[in-house]
Amino acid sequence: MLVTGQTAVDARLQGTSCFNQFPKLVGLVLLVTYVVLVLFFHSLLLPLKAILMNLVGITASYGFPGDGVFEWGILDKVLGFEHLGRPDDVSRR
């Protein structure tokens, strides 16, 4: 059966080495950024703080905190609510 559209693109990319190398690429970018900022600011803590704040901003722009809290139940006890799971998770209902 032929599959087209976004499903075919996703299935094709999941098996590629480009998809598998993505975490290493992110780590390399963070390391290079840290080294460059250390050289410019002559500080070890300030570049680390800058990288952490950038990671928080990037994950927030992709919606990770909302998914983590409302779908996966991360910090649900601290925030005072009971998460019900993903909409397609019928085992928790």
Domain ranges in the chain are 6-92
Residue 75 has pLDDT above 90, yes or no: no
Stretch 57-81: mean pLDDT, rounded? 77
pLDDT in tens, 4-56: 777 777 776 666 666 678 788 888 989 999 999 999 999 999 999 999 998 88
DSSP 12-73: HHHTSHHHHTHHHHHHHHHHHHHHHHHHHH--SHHHHHHHHHHHHHHHHHTTHHHHHHHTS-
